[in-house]
Amino acid sequence: MQSPGSQRAPGTRVWRAGRPGARQGIREPSEHWTADIVQIQGYSVVQLRGSGWPRDQRPGGGGVLMAHDADLTVRLDRSSRIGLPLQIVAGIRAEIAAGRLRPGDSLPSSRVLAAQLGVARGTVQTAYEHLIAEGQLLTAARSGTRVNPALQTPSSRRPSAARALDSRARSGQGSAARRPGARAVTGRTVPSHHSTDIAAEVRIDARGVSVRPDPRDEPDFRAAWRRGLDTRDVSDDGCGTQTVRQAIAGHLRLVRGMQVEPADIVLTAGARDGLRTVLNVLAPAALGVESPGFPGLRRALANTPTVDVPVDTDGIDPAAIPAPLRALLVTPNHLHPHGDSMSATRRVQLLRWAESCGGHLIEDDYDTEARYAGSLPPTLADLDSSGRVLHLGSFATLLGTRLGIGYIIATGPLSAAIAAHRRMLGPAASPLIQAALADYLDSGGLRRRMLRMRKRLAAAAEAVDAAGLPVTQVRGRVILERPAGDARRLRRALAERGILVDDLAGKWTGGQQTGIEIALSSLTSPELTAVLAALRAELSQG
């Protein structure tokens, strides 16, 4: 059967599907929705159209509710290097971006769409999970999968499929108006060769820029923000409200075993802001940094001279610290590049060094929550009895950088000076944001998210191991060492597949290793599958 207004190429087979639930793939026509499948030169193209089910005739499990005359066209190129789940992701994402799927529109069930596309149901489920993780789709029991109603798209001005076809017919855009290299399918134009288009549409950012899933999609997080709007605690002297400092102290006690007084916590606008605050108070002539080491916080050191201090597998060697130095920036719980922790002996030696010379250790405790095996190691601050450790913390590993809240823990002689400097600068975050964070911490929402993240990272690590690739795993990161030229070519080849990875050489300083780095925390399960498959394909080509 051929829908009105569509033209069929010679040799094309078309099936029309009817109401869900009928036997043998839903053969009978339905007044509620139709689905056309066209096979053209190795492509399977499906278009689903409908006007929505009457409230008293909605189908049971597995049925399709197509609202607002929603239509959906998905194009599959089985010869493409892009996996089928990601092609489906690209197709649905393009439909949303073009306004052909509007916020609130329902999508067919995974079973129905899989049957129409001729793929496994798991393939469609993987694609849906990917789009749900992105926030493009939502799913709920008994209401199916639909476009996120909160999504901002230009679709409010989208004409219906029927009006679009009528308009195109009136304007003379029929078969003669089609551009070369395309065939009309149910009134839509499908390129004969579109693998490049799909690669351009599919973007997987494996650089750790964001964390998945987005915390804003989690009920705990959203509820905390709603309650934060009702806060009456707006008294922030610049160091943070009493409520949020108490919440942070409680969180650190439960998660890290740290005994911290709320008065010793100073709120900052992230770890870099915390480092700048500490350096403004310390005003060191120079700052010792680990070599090799993590360059993240060094971007805040533009006006502070640095001195490289050698690091081995146990951490910074106190015997190698130049005599004039009185301040060190250290990452004891994540040494670079291979993720070791500073040994207990070195921790004690460093604390003794600080006490003996009147120096200070600035402890950057980033990324500790990404450990998915074993218990979390102690912090230097928790071992310090003389107030020589200034501890920098943030929530970026679990919540991403957009929250923009960190903290300093200072218990020694500099505590009052750091608090005074922060008061001079003013509050680091609005009282509403602080109230929402405090609620999220007190309710246990962040701890639950951390546990889920660890389980997800553990599963991802198993998937990487099972892939059998020549990579090293370090604390939620995948490292593939390659000569500089090979690494550049590999990054470029993966980018052509729509996958962005990090340059290993740019992730640490003072070393010679080059290659690529992949952050597991920024990938959903289907994205990781696609990344590993692409990496295997590129490595197999030399």
* Measured CA distances, 234 to 422, 465, 495 (Å): 17, 49, 47
Task: Tell me if 279 is assigned to some domain.
Answer: no
Judged by DSSP in three states, 407 sits in strand
Total domains present in the chain = 2
pLDDT at 141: 67
Calculate helix-pair angle for 271-282, 415-425, nearest 10 degrees. Answer: 120
Residues in contact with 288: Cβ distance below 8 Å, sequence separation at least 6, in sequence order: 306, 307, 308, 309, 316, 321, 322, 325, 327, 328, 329
Residues 46 and 118 placed together within one structural domain of the fold: yes
Question: Which helix H or strand E contains 416, and what residues bound it?
Answer: helix 415-425
Task: Tell me if 33 is assigned to some domain.
Answer: yes
pLDDT at 401: 84
Residues 85 and 209 placed together within one structural domain of the fold: no
The residue type of 216 is R
List, for the chain, all residue ranges whose pLDDT scores fall below the cut of 50: 1-35, 37-46, 48-70, 154-202
pLDDT at 508: 67
pTM of the model: 0.64
Tokens for 419?
Answer: 């608090």
pLDDT at 59: 35
Taking the C-alpha atoms of residue 368 and residue 525, their distance in angstroms, rounded to an integer, is 22
Calculate helix-pair angle for 431-442, 445-467, nearest 10 degrees. Answer: 70
Residues 209 and 86 placed together within one structural domain of the fold: no
Task: Tell me if 87 is assigned to some domain.
Answer: yes
pLDDT at 510: 60
Task: Tell me if 332 is assigned to some domain.
Answer: no
Residues 209 and 167 placed together within one structural domain of the fold: no
What domain range is 534 assigned to? 205-213+456-540
Judged by DSSP in three states, 138 sits in strand
Taking the C-alpha atoms of residue 405 and residue 215, their distance in angstroms, rounded to an integer, is 15
Residues 471 and 532 placed together within one structural domain of the fold: yes
CATH number at residue 477: 3.90.1150.10
Question: Which helix H or strand E contains 474, and what residues bound it?
Answer: strand 472-474
φ and ψ of 500, to 5 deg: -105, 125
Pairing of strands 499-500, 204-205: parallel
CA max distance for the chain: 87
Task: Tell me if 28 is assigned to some domain.
Answer: yes
Residues 29 and 56 placed together within one structural domain of the fold: yes
The residue with tokens 């191991």 is 465
Taking the C-alpha atoms of residue 229 and residue 361, their distance in angstroms, rounded to an integer, is 38
